[in-house]
């Protein structure tokens, strides 16, 4: 791959339809994690002046956008879905260059946004409310949805198109305006999304884009004219956001970390379970909120499973996600590399046994990027830190179980509750798992990753604060319910009194 073969592109914020540099003139670099010699682009390092400008544009735009009929808003979303489909290849390549996931997965990330565009577009002719009888005669009751107002959309780098689309398309459909702050580790894909939205007819000011790091996110969260914060990212940032929003009684939806596990029972189709674990643990180099980071194996099949699974891991091809045949791309940045390394040290210190991996991959061209070997620890016990804390890298801990009940207890024994999986051929065990696993998602005979946009997505415990993106539930985040009572009795009727 050629490096520095052209001028490094300069990207801008988008405020009220105008493409602008940061008021301060400051910039930051976005580098390719597969080859850090390549600068993908230069981006505005925004500050509170840019945030204020963007929020005031969104506030102004909300006045008219909220009054546009929902089916018309939906038509724009159909256009966006079509444009994303047409540009899938180019967008996927950009995504791989800026955050590293392999090209096939990057295409999937764009496809998820296409699915979300069409799903949200269809909601233009639904956005259903309820009608219900009144307890009083000659009185009519209904409930309707209203948009919330100006939304701050703050997103992580690991799904740079899909995660913003879950939020932005739903918010747009419901009649909100917004300020979008993509991750500083994947700002180019977010910029292309906003360009496409503009080209497809989203009016100026309805979607504004402000680049920068967490300080920009903080300024948005604290802004008095931001009515809703929709955030996906780490628990640490989510906790901070919740505190600020709590103080100002601001609506906020948080999608945070995970410590997901796959259970494999002794009656499972082992080949299927191994394939699932490979994809769940090492897809996106383990950098998914739903990644499999614990494998809970039934004692009776554990040795057989590991004997066949470890050689398959050793065969995984680690490298630049743009290259044909590569299965595991880089870690997103140096800080995350250090975090992964530190967890390997912690695992060894805690007494877990390293079965494979455990160190950076540095052969040949890999030395220019942040690559880490797919890593498996055996003899992990539930209380170890590597079994409790989110690592966010290609590292899996294997735990042993003798029964379904024990497996469920182990799986439930962390502070997170996002995704879970069980491999079994026994329908009774499958339904018990669906009932008893403390997680927002349970897969039966599938890995912990692979959500579809029309189902609720999110988790319990420290994974979030009770909202669900995706599915019809996402429209509850981006609307407020209003109850309306129409009394046509022509007299005062008092609820609960004149019964």
Q: How far is the CB of 133 from ligand NAD (least distance, A)?
A: 39
- Other beta carbons within 10 angstroms of residue 365's beta carbon come to 14
Q: Which of 93, 89, 97 is nearest to 3 (CA)?
A: 97
Does position 440 bind ligand NAD by CB under 6 A?
no
- What secondary structure, in 3-state letters, does 204-239 show? CCCEEECCCCHHHHHHHHHCCCCCEEEEECCHHHHH
Which window, 36-44, 59-67, 250-258, 262-270, contacts ligand NAD (CB under 6 A)? 250-258
Which residue lies nearest ligand NAD, judged by its C-beta?
A: 217
From residue 399 to residue 438, what is the string marking binding to ligand NAD with x (rule CB under 6 A)?
A: -------------------x--------------------
Looking at the Cβ atoms of 84 and 474, the one nearer to ligand NAD is: 474
Q: Which of 38, 123, 378, 390 binds ligand NAD (CB under 6 A)?
A: 390
- What secondary structure, in 3-state letters, does 435-451 show? HHCCCCEEEECCCCCCC
Q: What is the per-residue DSSP string for 442-484?
A: EEESS-S----TTS-B--SGGGBSS--BSTTTHHHHSEEEEEE
Q: Which of 218, 250, 294, 467 binds ligand NAD (CB under 6 A)?
A: 218
3-state secondary structure of 492: coil
Q: Which of 74, 164, 233, 397 binds ligand NAD (CB under 6 A)?
A: 233
Q: How far is the CB of 386 from ligand NAD (least distance, A)?
A: 16
From residue 145 to residue 164, what is the string marking binding to ligand NAD with x (rule CB under 6 A)?
A: ---------xxxxxx---x-
Which window, 103-111, 198-206, 217-225, 261-269, contacts ligand NAD (CB under 6 A)? 217-225
Q: Which of 126, 121, 127, 128 is nearest to 74 (CA)?
A: 121
Which window, 124-132, 254-262, 277-285, 351-359, contacts ligand NAD (CB under 6 A)? 254-262
Tell me whether residue 112 is one of the annotated catalytic residues: no
125 close to 77: Cβ distance less than 8 angstroms: no
Q: What is the per-residue DSSP string for 56-72?
A: HHHHHHHHHHTTS-HHH
- Annotated catalytic residue, options 14, 200, 235, 289: 289
Tell me whether residue 255 is one of the annotated catalytic residues: yes
Looking at the Cβ atoms of 163 and 274, the one nearer to ligand NAD is: 163
Looking at the Cβ atoms of 213 and 480, the one nearer to ligand NAD is: 213
Query: With contacts defined by CB under 6 A, how many residues of the chain interact with ligand NAD?
Result: 30
446 close to 421: Cβ distance less than 8 angstroms: yes
Looking at the Cβ atoms of 231 and 377, the one nearer to ligand NAD is: 231
Residue corresponding to tokens 């191994």: 274
Which window, 17-25, 64-72, 190-198, 229-237, contacts ligand NAD (CB under 6 A)? 229-237
- Phi then psi for residue 30, to 5 deg, are -115, 115
Does position 59 bind ligand NAD by CB under 6 A?
no
Which window, 141-149, 236-244, 306-314, 430-438, contacts ligand NAD (CB under 6 A)? 236-244
Token pair of 144 as six digits:
């309707």
- Rounded Cα–Cα distance for residues 85 and 372 (Å): 32
- Rounded Cα–Cα distance for residues 283 and 297 (Å): 20
Looking at the Cβ atoms of 71 and 214, the one nearer to ligand NAD is: 214
Token pair of 246 as six digits:
């709590």
135 close to 489: Cβ distance less than 8 angstroms: no
Which window, 7-15, 116-124, 180-188, 401-409, contacts ligand NAD (CB under 6 A)? 180-188
Which H or E run includes 13?
strand 13-15
Does position 221 bind ligand NAD by CB under 6 A?
yes
Q: Which of 123, 95, 97 is nearest to 111 (CA)?
A: 95
Looking at the Cβ atoms of 168 and 297, the one nearer to ligand NAD is: 168
Parallel/antiparallel/unpaired status of strands 207-209 and 177-181: parallel
Continuous H helices in 326-477: 334-350, 385-388, 404-412, 427-436, 474-477
Q: Which of 224, 142, 250, 220 is nearest to 487 (CA)?
A: 142
Q: Which of 289, 361, 380, 430 binds ligand NAD (CB under 6 A)?
A: 289
Does position 241 bind ligand NAD by CB under 6 A?
yes
User: HSE (CB half, 13 Å, CA atoms) of 72?
Assistant: 10
Looking at the Cβ atoms of 17 and 214, the one nearer to ligand NAD is: 214
Which window, 6-14, 89-97, 231-239, 403-411, contacts ligand NAD (CB under 6 A)? 231-239
Does position 255 bind ligand NAD by CB under 6 A?
yes
- Annotated catalytic residue, options 255, 389, 390, 469: 255
In the region spanning residues 316 to 375, those forming contacts with ligand NAD, defined by CB under 6 A, are none
Q: How far is the CB of 216 from ligand NAD (least distance, A)?
A: 7
- Phi then psi for residue 443, to 5 deg, are -105, 140
Q: How far is the CB of 266 from ligand NAD (least distance, A)?
A: 31
Residues 6+ apart with CB under 8 A from 499: 135, 136
249 close to 358: Cβ distance less than 8 angstroms: no
Does position 462 bind ligand NAD by CB under 6 A?
no
Looking at the Cβ atoms of 74 and 190, the one nearer to ligand NAD is: 190
What does the binding site for ligand NAD look like in residue numbers (CB under 6 A)? 154-159, 163, 181, 183-184, 213-214, 217-218, 221, 232-234, 237, 240-241, 255-258, 289, 390, 392, 418, 463
Q: Report, as residue numbers or ranges, the catalytic residues.
A: 255, 289
């Amino acid at each position: 791959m050629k490096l520095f073969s052209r001028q490094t592109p300069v990207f801008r914020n988008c405020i009220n339809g105008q493409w602008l540099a940061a008021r301060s003139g400051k910039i930051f670099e976005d580098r390719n994690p597969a080859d850090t010699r390549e600068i993908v682009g230069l981006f505005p390092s925004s500050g509170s002046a840019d945030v204020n400008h963007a929020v005031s544009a969104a506030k102004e735009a909300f006045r008219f956008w909220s009054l546009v009929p929902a089916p018309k808003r939906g038509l724009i979303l159909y256009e966006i879905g079509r444009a994303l489909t047409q540009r899938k290849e180019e967008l996927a390549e950009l995504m791989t260059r800026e955050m590293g996931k392999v090209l096939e997965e990057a295409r999937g990330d764009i496809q998820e946004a296409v699915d979300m565009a069409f799903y949200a577009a269809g909601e233009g002719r639904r956005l259903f409310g309820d009608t219900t009888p009144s307890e009083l005669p000659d009185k009519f009751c209904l409930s309707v949805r209203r948009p919330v107002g100006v939304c701050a959309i703050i997103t992580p780098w690991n799904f740079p198109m899909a995660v913003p689309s879950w939020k932005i398309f739903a918010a747009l459909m419901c009649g909100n305006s917004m300020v979008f702050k993509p991750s500083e580790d994947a700002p180019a894909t977010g910029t292309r999304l906003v360009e496409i939205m503009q080209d497809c007819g989203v009016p100026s000011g309805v979607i504004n884009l402000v680049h920068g790091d967490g300080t920009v996110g903080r300024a948005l969260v604290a802004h008095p004219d931001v009515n809703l914060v929709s955030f996906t990212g780490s628990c640490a940032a989510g906790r901070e956001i919740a505190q600020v929003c709590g103080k100002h009684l601001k609506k906020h939806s948080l999608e945070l970390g995970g410590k997901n596990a796959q259970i494999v029972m002794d009656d499972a189709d082992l080949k299927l379970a191994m394939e699932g674990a490979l994809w769940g643990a090492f897809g996106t180099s383990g950098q998914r909120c739903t990644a499999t980071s614990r494998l809970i194996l039934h004692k009776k099949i554990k040795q057989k499973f590991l004997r066949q699974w470890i050689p398959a891991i050793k065969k995984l091809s680690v490298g630049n996600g743009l290259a044909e045949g590569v299965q595991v791309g880089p870690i997103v940045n140096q800080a995350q590399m250090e975090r992964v390394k530190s967890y390997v040290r912690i695992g060894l210190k805690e007494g877990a046994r390293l079965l494979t991996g455990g160190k950076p991959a540095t052969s040949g061209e890999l030395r220019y990027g942040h690559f880490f070997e797919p890593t498996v620890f055996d003899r992990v016990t539930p209380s170890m830190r590597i079994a409790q804390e989110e690592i966010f890298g290609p590292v899996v801990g294997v735990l042993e179980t003798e029964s379904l009940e024990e497996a469920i207890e182990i799986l439930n024994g962390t502070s997170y509750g996002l995704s879970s999986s069980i491999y079994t051929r026994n329908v009774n065990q499958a339904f018990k798992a669906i009932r008893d696993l403390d997680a927002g998602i349970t897969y039966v005979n599938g890995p912990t990753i692979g959500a579809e946009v029309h189902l609720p997505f999110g988790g319990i415990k420290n994974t979030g604060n009770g909202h669900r993106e995706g599915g019809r539930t996402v429209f509850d985040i981006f609307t407020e319910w209003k109850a309306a009572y129409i009394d046509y009795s022509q007299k005062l009727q008092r609820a609960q009194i004149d019964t």
